[in-house]
Each structure stands twice: as C-alpha cells, then as structure tokens.
Structure 1
Amino acid sequence: MTKIIDQRAIIDRRAIIARLGELAAEDQPKNKRRQKILALFKDVLTQGRAEVRRRFEACGEGARTVRENCFLIDQIVRLVHDFAAEHEFPQGVRTSGEALSLVAVGGYGRGELSPHSDIDLLFLLPYKRVPYHEQVVEYILYMLWDMGLKVGHSTRSAEDCIRNAKGDLTIRTALLEMRWLWGDQGLFNELWSRYVNEIMANTAVEFVESKLAERDSRHSQMGDSRYVLEPNVKEGKGGLRDLHTLYWIAKYMYRVSDIGQLADAGIISRPAVRRFIKAQAFLWTVRCHLHYLTDRPEDRLTFDVQPEMAVRMRYADRPCARGVERFMKHYFLIAKEVGDLTRLFCALAEEQHKRKPRRLQLSRLFAAKPTNVAGFVLDGGRLDVTADDQFETDPVAMIRLFHTALEHEVDIHPRALDRVHRSLKRIDGTVRSNPEANRLFVDMLTSRKNPEVALRHMNEAGVLGRFIPDFGRVVAQMQYDMYHVFTVDEHTVQALGVLHSLEAGELKAEAPASSEVINQLVSRRALYVAVFMHDIAKGRSGDHSTLGAEVVMKLGPRLGLTEEETETSAWLVREHLSMTRIAFKRDIDDPKTIQDFVALVQSPERLKLLLCLTVADIRAVGPTVWNAWKAGLLRELYQRALDVMTGGLASVAHSTRVKASQARLRAELERLGWSAEEIEAHQGRGYPSYWTTFDTPIHLRHARLVREAEAVRAPLTVEPRVDSLRAVTEITVYTGDHPGLFSQIAGAMAVSGANIVDAKIITLANGMALDTFCIQDSDGGAFDSPAKLAKLSACIEQVLSGRLRLDRELAARKGKLPSRAHVFKVPPRALLDNKPSRSHTVIEVNGRDRPGLLYDITNAMTSLGLQISSAHISTYGERVVDVFYVKDVFGHKIEHGRKLDQIKASLLKALEDPALAAEAAQ
C-alpha cells in the first residue's frame, strides 16, 4: 500500500496502546472496562475519519482518501485484535491449532475504502475452530459493530477457502484481492500459495469469461449505456467496477499486483496505464464526495446531488454551460475512457490465451472473410491495421476503417482502436476537407446497414468529434432535466438507429405512418444528415434549432450535399420541434391549426421528412417517452396536412380514415358478439376526431367500458390499466360532462397521491365525458397498488358527488414535490393567444411539476368562468407544458385586454410553487 503521509495525525497507535494498557490495568468489572474501551475506539475512529475528511476537502484527491480510510481501519482492527489476545483472552503459549490470521478481502483487501464502504474480513484458521478462535473473533466483531462499522466476515480454514473458491465466483474474486492484515502470517502465505496453484492455474480463460459475463449482466441491470443522466459511479457502465474487473483479470492472468506492472511487462502501453490511473482517481474522488455529501454509501449521481457535486469539485458556471453540466460532461468522458480501456485490455486477454473470440464473448469470428479488406487486415474476424504507422501516414484511413467495418459487418480490433486513439491529432483541417473522407462519412451516415453501429464506434473512439468539431462540442453533454435520459451525442446516435429501424420496417406496429412514408422519400440523404445534426447546436447561447440550421448550411457543402439537400436539411433542423409542438400542444381538430402547419411545411416531401425526424427524435429521448397517443396525434396531423396539400386527394382522406377506424372496431365487436344495433349506437357516440385519435385496441376498451356503464346506468365509471412498459397507469373516467369536471378529477387524483403526466379529454355525442389520464406515483413509477387504485376511485366519486372538499384536502399536501424534481427551477409562464384558433383562446402554461398543479390551474380557469373545450397535457420530466382551448361563459373567445390580464395573473398565482414560497419565507 502507498505510504500514508503523517500517519499519527490520523491514528496515533503508540498513544492508543498506552491508553489501552492503562484501562487493562484498572481494577474494574469486564463490562465497565469494555464500555471504556469501546468509547476510546469510537473516539479514535471519529477523530481519524475527521482528519481523513479534512485532508480530502483540502486536496480533493479521492485515491489518497480511500487509502487513508483503509489505513485507519487497518490500525483499529489490529489494535482490537491485540487487546483481545493480550488482555481479554490471554493464552500464554498458544498451540499451532490456536493460530489465527486476519485477512482483508474484497475492496478492503485491495487497500481501498470509501468513507461509508463495508469492511470485509476473513478470519483464517489452521484447520478447525477451537474455543479460543470463537472468543477472539466474537470480541473483534462485536467491538467493530458497536463502533458503527459495517463488517462482512467469514471464518474459514485454507481448505474451506479453496473448496468454496472453486465453486463460487464471488468468493474467488474476493480472495483474489486478499491482503494479510494481522496475526499468523504463515497461514495467509499458505492460503495464497494454494490459491495460486490450485485456483488460478489453468483457469484464467474461465475466470475472464465469467467476469465479463458478470459485467454484461450488471450493465444490463443498470441500463446498458454509460450515458444515462443519473449514472451509478460504482456499478454503472464506465464506473469503478469496470476498472476493478480489468484489475481482476490482469491480476488473475499476469499475477500483477499493480496495473503499472502490465506496462513494465510490455503488455499494455504506458499511456493506457496513465489513462487507467487518471480515470480511477477521478471516479474515486466523485465517490468520496458522494459519500461525504449524502452521509451514506450512496453511489448514484442523482439530479439532486449533481449541482452540489459540481460545486465541491470546482466546476464553475460558464456563459454557455452551467457548472453541473460541465461536471457531468467530464464524468461521461471519463466513463468513455473506461470503455476504451476495457476493449483494449480484453483483446489482449483474448490473444494471450489463444481462445476463439466467440468463446470469450469479446468479438465474433468470421472465418469465411478474406484476409485483406480495403487496405486493412482481417485478424480473427476483426479489422486491424497493416502497419503501426498506417494512420500517421494516411489519416483518412481512420474514417475508412469504420466505413469498411460497417460495409463488411465486422468488428474493429481494439489494437486498431488504440492506434486510432494515438493518431487523433492527425484529423485536422486537411482531413476534414478531404472529399474522400467526407464521402466515406456520408456513406456511413446514410448506410442501409444501420449507421448507429458505426457512428457509436466512431464517437467512442473520438473520431466523430474530431472530424465534425461541431458534434464534438456536444459529446458527453448532458441536458440537466428529468425528461432527457441520455447525453446529446448518445441521443443523436440512437435517433439514427430509430430512423434505420423505421426504414427496415421494424417499427410498423409502433409508428405505422412514418414506417410507410420513409420508403417514399426523395430526399433520404437530407433526412439522415438532419437527424445527425438536429441537436448539434445544443449548449450554445440561443435557439439550438436556428443555430443548428446555420451549422448545416456550413457543413452541407463540405459533406458533398447538393444545394437542395443542404437547404432541406437546414430547414428540417430549424423546424425539428414544430411538428411535436403542434401535435401535442394544439387542437388538430381546429382547421386553423392545420392551415398554419401547412403554411409552415409547404410541401408533401417536407411533411414526410418532418414526420420521420420527429418520430426518431421522440423515440430516442428515452424508453418510456413514446406511446400510442403521441403516435396517433402525429399520424393524424400528418394525414390532415397531407389532405390540405393535395386538395383532399391524399391517399387516405380524413373521412376515409374515420370509416376505416370504425370498420376495424366493428369487426372486433362483431367477433365478440355485439349486435348491429349496439355497434351502431356506440359508433354514433363518437365525433370524427375520436375515431382518428385512438387506435383499435383503445377503441375496443372504451366500447366495453361504455357498454357496461350504460347497461347499469352507472353515473360514474373509473377503470385503471397499468402500463408497466411506460411506468404509468392509465385511468379512464366515464361520467356526465359538466363545467369544472376536469378540474375536479385532477384534484381527486392529487388528493390520492397521483401525479398526472398526460391527459386526453373526450366529450361524446351523448353528453358524457370519456377522459383518460396517465398517472404515476410520487417516485415516478406506475400507480399500481390495488389499495391506492381503490382509494383513487372512491376519491373521484366523493369529489364528483360533493362529499369531499378538495380545498381542505389539498391544503395539507401543498409543498410536497415529486422525488428529485425539487432541484429543478422552472420559471412559471402563462401565455394567452387568440391567433392559433378562430373560435377559441389558447392558453399555454409552463411550470415545475408538483402534486395538485393541474387542479390549481384548471380550478383557476373554472373560477374565472372559462369553459375548457380541449386540454393538451404534457410533462417533460420536471416541466409541465399544458395547453387549453377555452371560451368564456357565452361561448366566445376572450379578447378584452383587462380580462386577459386577469386570467394571466390568476394562472401565474396558481403556478406558484408552495415549496419555494416556504423556502423564501424561512
């Protein structure tokens, strides 16, 4: 272990031994003496930890801190053992059968302890347990536990350890890091010798396979990306555990005790060792800050701790980036470095043992491929360089490497990637302007063989950011909110993968309209370039859509796009949010909405391009963002705009779609035994927009619900449906429509602890409301507890019947915010606009989400005598964007200036955050 500076400032062993001797010499009962000894050790631990923390806060070096914490615990364990052996259970001359060795295992054995990490101890015996062992081990453990330490332990002989290690990978890994701590060193040496000769010998390949499979399983459980916005520093992809895995493999295969010894032996390069040490030091520092900040063994960089972490690690705000975003960007770049090291080292491990790559799960073997491919050599099914200086002499070959791998569907050898990493500086202005390099890049970007694969490899190798510097600015850039799941670059790469899936017909069920039109496009290259660049200007001062369009106009000619393709791509980037905004925030049943959208888009080709880009963008935000409602709204907006553009001669006009939707439902209902009269009666209840907004499965659920409610003349029907994939619960409410209904239901849900994340209001021709709400619990999960759902149904019934006073019930809940959302500041905003609709005033409200917010907003509108004709509820993480089409009590638009000001003031008051108000009052 690295030498600890000024050890006595952390723990003064001599002074403690002297004090322990004094306590042992006192004539007092054992229990009283133990209390004094425990108090002494508690004080030693507290003072030692305080000194280690003081040093950390002064220097901010996590690697030093974990060693100092380990040193402190080492000394305490040794002192407790010695006191037990010398004063509590003195033996005089001990027999060989009473020998005992204390061994540190796991991370503690490695010599690394974070502030709140567990301590793993092995009490090593000669062959069997005797009373002396039980006495000493029990004394040590209870003393450590009573100090407040978390101690994992085992008491075994060397024979036990070897036998268990053969059958249990966890035990084998823990023993790999064992370190003699105190006691009989001969026992430890014997165990280590047997471990090397009986466990490590001839099992390296098996161990590597097992550890990599374990790593893959862990990544899958943690969200298989190193770019999730709330990463786990220890277990996540690119975290400390990945570095530990590399260390375990290195130690097992090469018998090294330090990663630097791999470079001494010529196995990896010195730069790779420096990258390993740098990454580990950064991650240890982050983890130590996390433990000290949260005062618990917390390893998740959640949104609520990220701002303070940025402050503690001295990341200041800059004009174009907040400190927290700069800190997280650095974190993701380090995680990427860990991935690079993993690929490099695993390739070396594979070659060392001459096993087929398939068996090691490190790559694929393509024996049928030719040896030489496009200027590269195919080694074990993977592309490698023909010479060490290939990229130095021909920098364009770095672009060709990824292009060739994609075209031939082979992996790239980590050795070649290491050469790429060393040659990145050769990608300069000359390479960027090289026509062949740009042709190869655009060919990859628009490939039919899934560009996501090639571009992700290019990005992780650092080539993409060097070749397209504007893209390099968004590499590892986080978006500090609860809506986006990935960094900007990862989101972009995934969007290209979604686009490929649409084109391949893999998403017909989820996105039928875009899956159909994408194969009708004339401007396919322009679309792929636009998807690649749609967020390329994020993080700059100004509108990223407008700035991104300017980037496209600059880069298009360089990439070899025609003038028309460049202009089309720039338009798509500039308007890439427009279709989302109109579909989700405007009433597409309003003719003016469609007219305004058509005036913006102008041509059927651009309409198709924008639909495909919009679907790819939304679906790449995160796994739970896309749903059938959004698909239906986008599809209907597309079809209605196409109707107008083609003069009603589109392939599927609105009236035809209504009839087709009704026909599909009729077929299903006939199959279920509905009579013709029942079907006709039900289909007469829905207005045309109802039939085009929802798909057949939802129509079928609604039909059954309405039929059952009408059969018993139920005044209120509430039906839940849990959607575990999206982590939401859909609540459908069928009841008589009346002013304030929407507000009352929203209030009932708030009282029941439900958070509304989406809503759809439908009024049927029979005067009944058929409203659907998507709700979650306070932790962002599905509201799926049977007891909670029963309470919710009862609460809605009580509110609608007037037996429950919402104002009183909600007053007690004011200020309770959804988990983690309290860290985000969203300025309240209320916009009133009479231009989007000829018959309604459109109100848009923005604010930070909280329980009861929707009730407060809609209740304010009801109190002002406003009639809500349609509502468009959207939640983007912590931010709500709700749009309402309203009329006054006489059924007219609100156009009087004073009334508009009154409405705005009332809504801003409703948007006020009680929690922030309470904080300000303190």
Structure 2
Amino acid sequence: MSAPPLSDQRAIIDRRTLAAEIAAAASRDAVLALLRDALEQGRQELSRRLAEHPSAGHAHCGGHSFLLDQLIRLIHDYAAERLAPVPEGETAKAMTVVAAGGYGREEMAPHSDVDIAFIVERAEDKRTVALVEAILYLLWDLGLTVGHSVRTLDDVVSMSKADGTILTALLECRYLWGDEALYDAATRRFYAEVVEGTERQFVAEKLRERDARHKRMGDTRYVVEPNVKEGKGGLRDLHALYWIGKYIHRARNAAELVDAGLFTKAEYRSFRRAEGFFLAVRCHLHEITGRAEDRLTFDLQKELARRMKFADRRSKSAVERFMQYYFLQAKRVGSLTGIFLGQLEEQFAKKRARRGLLAGFTARPRMLRGYQVFAGKLSAPSDDWFRKDPVRLIEIFQIAESEQLEIDPRTMRQADRDSGLINDDVREDPRANALFLDLLAGRNDPEMVLRWMNEAGVFGRFVPDFGRVNAQMQFNMYHHYTVDEHTIRAIGFLNTIEKGELAEEHPRATRAIHQLKSRRALFVATLLHDIAKGRGGDHSVLGAEVAERLCPRFGLNDYETALVAWMVRQHLLMSHTAFKRDLADPKTVEDFVTEVQTLERLRQLAVLTSVDIRAVGPGTWNSWKGQLLGELYDLSFERLRLGHVTKGRKERVAAKKAQVRDALGDKAALMDQKGDLFTAPYWIAEPVDIAARNIVQYSVARDLGEALSVHCEADEERGATLVTVIAADHPGIFMRIAGAIHLVGGNIIDARVHTTRTGYAVDNFLVQDPLGRPFGEDNQLERIERSIADALESGAKLVPKLAQRPLPRRGADAFEVRPSVTFDNDASHRFTVVEVAARDRPALLNRLARALFEQHAMIRSAHITHYGERAADTFYVTDLTGDKITDPGRLEALRAALVEAASDEMQAELEPA
C-alpha cells in the first residue's frame, strides 16, 4: 500500500545536504547530533502539515516513512564507512536492510515502532555483525523503538514456514538499502518455497486470526471507544485483505487488488478512503498523547473532532459527527471484506473445478422463488435482477431469514450497488412493506439478516429514518454501541427471549412475549424506540411521531399504530419508575398503572424495557435491575388484573409480618419481642428476607448492648451486597455511612432508611463493586464493616480520603453534565421526591446527603442509578416534622444547595462540627 508522492520532500529531510554534513563530522557524537536534529525538524514539519491537512493520512504516514527511510540510509552508509568498515584485504559480505510491518507498508504514525530486518549473506560474519550493531545503536540513541531481526536466505524460508507472524512480517517487507540483488533473491525464494501451494491455508489462518481479534475487541465495529488499528472494521482488517491479496496474487499494493479481480475501481476508492481516514485518526492520536495510542477514547474524541475540522450542527455536536463518519468508514470496511472474500472464494472454486476427478462437472443450483440457492447461499440470477424489480432488494433479505440462508457476497455487492433504486414508490409498496415486516419479526435470526441489510445500505434506504441514525454515536459512557447497532441488537434479544433462551434472566418477559395480542407491534416498537435520536429534542416524543407515520406504511392497523406510538413515547417509563422511584410507596404503582392502563401495554413495555437495557452493552443488565423491574411488573399486573388495590395498608403490614414470622422459622418468637418496634412504613418497604435478617441482627445487637451493629452479606439474587447498619439515629448518619462505603470502593445502588420506635436507625444499603458485582470475599466485607464503624464511632475525617478516590469510571471527565434538581410532591402521598442528575464523581452521594442534612431534609429512602458518566440520585425526604417540603422558598434553597454540592469540588469537611 504505497503512499502517494510527497510534495517538497527536502523540507522533511534533505539527505544529500545531511550526508555532506555527516561526512564532515569529526565524531560519532557529532553525527548523532546531526541525525537527532534532522529527525526532530522532520517531525515538526510533518506535524505542521498534519495541522494544515488533517485528513491526509496516507501522505502523513508516507512522510514519516520517508523521513525514516532517509535516516536509515544515511546511518547505514556512515556505519559501513566509519564504524564497521570492511577489513583490509577482505570482501564485504552482502547485506540488505528492509522495512517490515507497518513501516514496510509505509504506514508510519508519529510514534510507531520501527520494524526492520537485516537479510545477510552470512549471519556469523564478524563485519556483518559489527555493521548491524552499529546501525541499531545509532537508531536506539535517536530514541526510536526498533524491532529488528537478522536472517539469512535459508532463515527467511525456514522461519516463515515455522511461524505465521514471521511469515506475515516478511510478506510486507520493502527494500530500504544495501544489496538489492540479495533482497530480490529473498523475495523469489519466499514466494517459490514458502507461498506456493499454501494459499488456502494462509487465508484460513488470517481469517481465524481476524475472528479471534474481533472477539477480543468486542466483536462489533460499533463500540463507542473503538480501537482504530485492532478493532473490527479498522486498519488491521484492511491489512488482512492486503496480506491475502499479496500472498495469492503477488499484489504489490492495494491498487493491484483491482487487477486481481477482487475489487472494482469504486470499491478500491472506498478502500483507500477508509484507510486514509483511519491513518489520519491514528496520527492525530499519536500526536495528542505523545505515544503509540490506537484507542479512540472519549477524552480524545473531542480533540480529534476539533483537529480534523468537524463542526457542530444544529442537532449534532462536532464529536458526534466525527464519530458517525468514523463508524460509516468502519461499516464500509465490513462491506469490502465481504466482497473481497466472496470474490476470493469464487476464484478458489474455479481453480478446484479445473482439477481432479470432477474436472468439468458443474453442480446446478436449485431455484427458490426465482433466486438461485447453492451451497447454502442465496443469490440473484442475473446482474439486472434488482433493476427489473427493486422490491426484490427487500425480498431477498426476507427469504434469507425465513429459509435460514446466507446471501452470496456477489449478490450483496449487487444489493449495495443497486440500493439507490429504492425510492418513494418502493417505500410505499405494500408488498415491500409486508416483506420487511416479515423479516423484522422473523422467527429464525432477524438480527443477523437485518445487519446484512444494513451493511448493504438497503435498510437505511427503505427506512430513511433508520438511515439517519446509521452509525450515529451516542456521546456518553452508558451506551456501548451506535444507535443502529443498539437497535439491531435489541431486535436480536427479542428473538432470543421468544425462543426461551433467556428464561432464567427474563422469566416475565419470556412468558409475556407469548401472551401478546400483537407481537409484530413489539418488533416495530423495538425498531423505532430510538429512531429519533440526534434530532434535537425529546427522542421519545419525536420517535412517537415517526411511529404514527411509519406504522401504517408497514401495514399495522390503527390499534397497533397507537400501541407502537405509545410504547416509543413511554419506552423509558418502566425503567425510570423501577430504578428511580420507591416501589414500596403505593403512589409509585398508582401513577405507573394510570399511565399503562392495560395488561397488553404492560406486557409489551416489560419486554421492550428488558431488551432495550440488555442491548445497551455487556454487563448493563443485572439481577438487581431484573428484580426491580419484576417487582414493578408484578405489582402493576395485580392492580391491572383486578382493577383495584387488593389490600389496604393495615392488611399489607399484617401480611408482611406473618410472612417474616414464617421466614424466621425457629426464631419466630422474635416477632413477638421486637416486631412492634418497627413502623408500618418499614414493613411495607422491606422485602421479607431482608426484614427477617434485620429482626435477627437488631435482637442480637440489643441483647449484647452494642451501640453499633454493621453486617454485610453478599446477595447473589439481587446482584449486590446487603449492608445493614443499626445505630442510635442522629442527623447526618446517612452521609457518613455512604462516605464510608464509597471509601472502600463500593457503589450504593439502593438505600432504605428507617427509625424504630425506640430511636434506632435501621438502614439497609445494596452495594456493588466498581464492576457492578456483589462484594463477597470475607476480607472485602470486613473492610466495609470497619470503614463504617470508623466513620460512625470515631468520626473519621472522610473528605480528604474521599477526594483521593478515582472516578467511578475512567474518562468521565471528558463529559460536561450540568447538575439539575427536580422536585415532585405528587409522586408520593407522604414524601417529597428529589431527583438530582449530575456527572458521576467521587463522594457525590455524600455531598448530596450533606446538602440535604444542612437544609434540614430527612432522607427516608434513596435510589441510586448510573448511566455511564451520569448519576441520577433520587431521594424521598421530609422535613424535621415528617411532612412534605412544599414551601417554594425552602425548595429553592434546597435546589441551590444540591446544585452546588453536585458541581463544586467541595474540599470542606463533610461531617458536622
């Protein structure tokens, strides 16, 4: 993949002038100073050019390669003449210096390693050894990171056969300097003795390596912090195509892949465009970080967008536009890979057909609805197949899903080429829409086929609203994928749940999906739930408008259209209610049921919520979220099924006490001794198993006369550790406990605060480690208990220690999240609900608790939710008399205090004086 010609090469380095200066230099140190100055000046010139032409990836990498080429040639000549001259009376043994790896491809970023190989006539020759050492020491003294090898012609052959890494490195070798005849001889022997006859084996090995790398890097090209070199759809995928082309067709550069019949000229231009963009991104990453950095992390994306001159638009920030372009290039690499491999497979098949016992025999494909099926692949029968009837661009994907067939790569190429035939007539065609709906709600593997449809550009053409979110990044730390990838994954999870393959993690969704009146409404709602992201405004409301327009086109009736529009508008309702509201508060369920209204909506929304969360990324779904959603579903289902509340407050308390008594078993007598000490709100709020544990712990603590009792226990069912603190109640206890938990690396995801009739606090916290898992090791639990005891008994100074804690997730500083505070006095009959949204940061919960404490607001329960870099903390509070806070002046003062706590670094002590 040779770089384009460089303009004004002497401004980068003037080898002739520098050679004369080296010849006149009196010592090695003087020569080294000249070389070091030339390297630095060359890099500065290239950096200036990158700033002027920020997308010129090929030219910039070619410039760095050119700079090193000239330096290595000068170093070779100087070392050969002055540092390791040929002994008098002897003849120099042949040696050639070659560039390998990325350097061999002329793809040198500012901090890339310099990979070189010395091909030598005789490895043991003393003068050759001295010359190699002299060259390497000069390169090392220049501060370069050098990878090197020394090989004879026999080594080239034997080591290439034994090691695939060496084979690939030698495949990319480029002559630099020295004996060119020796280089030519090495090349001839390499192809004749190593390559010949091993082409298929090499291709299979490279594809295995690619698949393993993809799996290691997340197995999708749409991760929001991609690796530009190793990630799926990145530079290494392009390299693999080049290696294969060079191995099989002896292609010297990417342009020759066209002559080999593996790409069309248009596809080659796409190849170069994607490669040039990725190379430019990589060069900027190296310059910004000052090291060989290939991962496009959140904190670097904004600077890359600025450097590469992407600007803000009305509905999209510069960084979102930059990343969308990045993902479009990665998507194109995926398409090119499919085309390349399809052509390669066809070439291999033709070679096989000309050999062996079956030479001359041609198997006939079977026909399916006018299409050809051969070896499990579906293909168009002619080149003008889609032009004759563009609806076939939808039909072929529907057939592939229903018949569980792959689409032949050549036909994918045709579909990509002809996708522009999809116009308004095709979009409004009833047959096309019926086919699309059948595909979308397919029962085999709609996820995979929709991904193929998206890769071919057909999906976005047929549903332009989906095309608008194609490759669209969501610039936050919560979403792992682009909008289109998230949506397609969500549809895949629907299919998996419907097959019963996630019944253990999603028992209610698995039952509900088979009880729906309209399963196709669910699939359409899943397709459309994020369709309006990036338009500026509430994507749920805007998406509902899109649904009202698209559903009739897809063939949904009025009832289904209204249902889909409602689900898109309310697709966050269930998760927000479950994660941000107190499910023990009757008003929470009342309000939720008032909005949901029917069992059909509840079932539809429950399934959509599950797949939406799960498709955000690995680890986003956990058992605690499942439990909260399940509890809300069960409470709402009962209410909707019967149409009224089955039990009043007194009955609910009595029923809970009876259940706890049963759970206590042989300790049931504790309910007679201690049960009345706990108030009605306690019995309504706490689950049976936690209440039983609390009663036992409280009884033991009182019998022992302990002023403080802290107990930690891993709760695998909830996916968290239950931390129970029993102590004499006093203002500020909540913030001290929260600080102590955070100090040992714990994240509080839920908290319930109670006071017994005798004045003891009984506070239950659900805590996870930084990876969202329960603490379970004995030493971890002991650390939590000790930290809480220190904070409550000795008044340990928490703030200085908390300030040293790292952010919950690396990279959160890259995001600007303005704190916001909302109050809701209608969400609960007894409490004021305070919701604070802010950037996640060390000790945020303590700061907020401190602000509430200073404003004389008593915390009754807290619900902590994290969306990547954003924290959404909800508190149920009262004033000191136990009433709601309604005075506008008090609320405004509380708002100001919470905003300050969420935004200020606050180095002051958190504990009261």
TM-score (norm 1): 0.89
Between the aligned partners of 1:319 and 1:586, the Cα distance in structure 2 is: 34
Between the aligned partners of 1:685 and 1:166, the Cα distance in structure 2 is: 79
C-alpha contact 1:658 1:692 (8 A) present in aligned 2: no
Give 1:236-315 correspondences, 5 Å limit. Answer: 236-315=231-310
**Distance of aligned partners of 1:143 and 1:653 in 2 relative to their CA distance in 1, 3 Å threshold:** farther
Post-superposition shift, 1:587? 1.4
C-alpha contact 2:859 2:878 (8 A) present in aligned 1: yes
1:607 aligns with 2:599: no
1:874 aligns with 2:865: yes
Between the aligned partners of 1:486 and 1:317, the Cα distance in structure 2 is: 21
Letter matched to residue 847 of structure 1: A
Letter matched to residue 20 of structure 2: A
Q: Which residue of 2 aligns with 1:128?
A: 123
Q: Which residue of 1 aligns with 2:575?
A: 580
C-alpha contact 2:84 2:134 (8 A) present in aligned 1: no
Between the aligned partners of 2:892 and 2:844, the Cα distance in structure 1 is: 21
**Distance of aligned partners of 1:163 and 1:464 in 2 relative to their CA distance in 1, 3 Å threshold:** same
Between the aligned partners of 2:217 and 2:647, the Cα distance in structure 1 is: 44
Post-superposition shift, 1:651? 12
**Distance of aligned partners of 1:807 and 1:179 in 2 relative to their CA distance in 1, 3 Å threshold:** closer
Post-superposition shift, 1:197? 0.8
Q: Which residue of 2 aligns with 1:29?
A: none
Post-superposition shift, 1:644? 2.0
Post-superposition shift, 1:712? 7.6
Post-superposition shift, 1:650? 10
Q: Which residue of 2 aligns with 1:820?
A: 811
Give 1:644-723 correspondences, 5 Å limit. Answer: 644-647=639-642, 715-719=708-712
Between the aligned partners of 2:693 and 2:194, the Cα distance in structure 1 is: 60
Q: 1:36 aligns with which of 9, 25, 30?
A: 30
Corresponding pairs, count: 890
Letter matched to residue 813 of structure 2: H
Post-superposition shift, 1:875? 0.9
Farther off after superposition, 796-805 or 548-557: 796-805
C-alpha contact 2:460 2:467 (8 A) present in aligned 1: yes
Q: Which residue of 2 aligns with 1:902?
A: 893
Q: Which residue of 1 aligns with 2:101?
A: 106
Between the aligned partners of 2:32 and 2:492, the Cα distance in structure 1 is: 60
Q: 1:21 aligns with which of 23, 46, 56?
A: 23
**Distance of aligned partners of 1:690 and 1:197 in 2 relative to their CA distance in 1, 3 Å threshold:** farther
Between the aligned partners of 1:267 and 1:296, the Cα distance in structure 2 is: 36
**Distance of aligned partners of 1:229 and 1:595 in 2 relative to their CA distance in 1, 3 Å threshold:** same
Q: Which residue of 2 aligns with 1:46?
A: 40
Post-superposition shift, 1:632? 1.4
1:498 aligns with 2:489: no
1:833 aligns with 2:827: no
Secondary structure of 1:520's partner? Answer: coil
Post-superposition shift, 1:695? 9.4
Between the aligned partners of 1:158 and 1:684, the Cα distance in structure 2 is: 90
Post-superposition shift, 1:649? 8.4
Q: 2:110 aligns with which of 97, 102, 115?
A: 115
Post-superposition shift, 1:897? 2.4
Q: 2:407 aligns with which of 409, 412, 417?
A: 412
Post-superposition shift, 1:368? 13
**Distance of aligned partners of 1:651 and 1:204 in 2 relative to their CA distance in 1, 3 Å threshold:** farther
Between the aligned partners of 1:480 and 1:783, the Cα distance in structure 2 is: 31
Between the aligned partners of 2:364 and 2:710, the Cα distance in structure 1 is: 64
Q: 2:344 aligns with which of 346, 349, 356?
A: 349
**Distance of aligned partners of 1:701 and 1:892 in 2 relative to their CA distance in 1, 3 Å threshold:** closer
1:469 aligns with 2:461: no
Give 1:373-522 correspondences, 5 Å limit. Answer: 373-522=368-517
**Distance of aligned partners of 1:315 and 1:662 in 2 relative to their CA distance in 1, 3 Å threshold:** farther
Farther off after superposition, 634-643 or 322-331: 634-643
Between the aligned partners of 2:554 and 2:490, the Cα distance in structure 1 is: 20
Q: Which residue of 2 aligns with 1:210?
A: 205
Farther off after superposition, 182-191 or 409-418: 182-191
Farther off after superposition, 309-318 or 581-590: 581-590
Between the aligned partners of 1:395 and 1:274, the Cα distance in structure 2 is: 26
Post-superposition shift, 1:899? 1.9
1:591 aligns with 2:553: no
C-alpha contact 1:632 1:694 (8 A) present in aligned 2: no
Q: 1:885 aligns with which of 876, 879, 886?
A: 876
Letter matched to residue 851 of structure 1: P
Secondary structure of 2:501's partner? Answer: coil
Q: 2:536 aligns with which of 527, 533, 541?
A: 541
Q: Deviations over 1:390-427 (max 9, x none)?
A: 01111111111100110110111110000001101100
Post-superposition shift, 1:145? 1.0
Between the aligned partners of 2:174 and 2:339, the Cα distance in structure 1 is: 28
Secondary structure of 1:305's partner? Answer: helix
**Distance of aligned partners of 1:277 and 1:696 in 2 relative to their CA distance in 1, 3 Å threshold:** farther
Letter matched to residue 716 of structure 1: S
Secondary structure of 2:390's partner? Answer: coil
Q: Which residue of 1 aligns with 2:838?
A: 847
Q: Which residue of 2 aligns with 1:758?
A: 749
Secondary structure of 2:768's partner? Answer: strand
Between the aligned partners of 1:696 and 1:397, the Cα distance in structure 2 is: 58
Between the aligned partners of 2:321 and 2:375, the Cα distance in structure 1 is: 40
Post-superposition shift, 1:265? 3.7
Post-superposition shift, 1:594? 1.5
C-alpha contact 2:285 2:304 (8 A) present in aligned 1: yes
**Distance of aligned partners of 1:595 and 1:790 in 2 relative to their CA distance in 1, 3 Å threshold:** closer
C-alpha contact 1:729 1:776 (8 A) present in aligned 2: no
Between the aligned partners of 1:128 and 1:788, the Cα distance in structure 2 is: 57
Between the aligned partners of 2:455 and 2:672, the Cα distance in structure 1 is: 58
Between the aligned partners of 2:573 and 2:607, the Cα distance in structure 1 is: 13
**Distance of aligned partners of 1:511 and 1:266 in 2 relative to their CA distance in 1, 3 Å threshold:** closer
Between the aligned partners of 1:700 and 1:316, the Cα distance in structure 2 is: 59
Post-superposition shift, 1:143? 1.1
Letter matched to residue 710 of structure 2: T
Secondary structure of 2:535's partner? Answer: coil
**Distance of aligned partners of 1:875 and 1:368 in 2 relative to their CA distance in 1, 3 Å threshold:** farther
Q: Which residue of 2 aligns with 1:182?
A: 177
Between the aligned partners of 1:612 and 1:451, the Cα distance in structure 2 is: 17
**Distance of aligned partners of 1:10 and 1:711 in 2 relative to their CA distance in 1, 3 Å threshold:** farther
Post-superposition shift, 1:802? 2.9
**Distance of aligned partners of 1:756 and 1:102 in 2 relative to their CA distance in 1, 3 Å threshold:** same
Q: 2:738 aligns with which of 736, 746, 755?
A: 746
**Distance of aligned partners of 1:153 and 1:558 in 2 relative to their CA distance in 1, 3 Å threshold:** same
Between the aligned partners of 1:248 and 1:613, the Cα distance in structure 2 is: 44
C-alpha contact 2:754 2:761 (8 A) present in aligned 1: yes
Farther off after superposition, 840-849 or 623-632: 623-632
C-alpha contact 1:718 1:793 (8 A) present in aligned 2: yes
Secondary structure of 1:484's partner? Answer: coil
Could you tell me the percent identity over the aligned residues? 43
Between the aligned partners of 2:196 and 2:799, the Cα distance in structure 1 is: 73
Give 1:305-344 correspondences, 5 Å limit. Answer: 305-344=300-339
Q: Which residue of 1 aligns with 2:355?
A: none
Q: Which residue of 1 aligns with 2:787?
A: 795
Letter matched to residue 19 of structure 1: E
Post-superposition shift, 1:756? 2.7
C-alpha contact 1:783 1:789 (8 A) present in aligned 2: yes
Between the aligned partners of 1:661 and 1:350, the Cα distance in structure 2 is: 70
Between the aligned partners of 1:467 and 1:376, the Cα distance in structure 2 is: 21
- Gap regions ≥5 residues in structure 2: 353-361, 909-913
Farther off after superposition, 532-541 or 638-647: 638-647
Q: Deviations over 1:684-704 (max 9, x none)?
A: 999999999999999999999
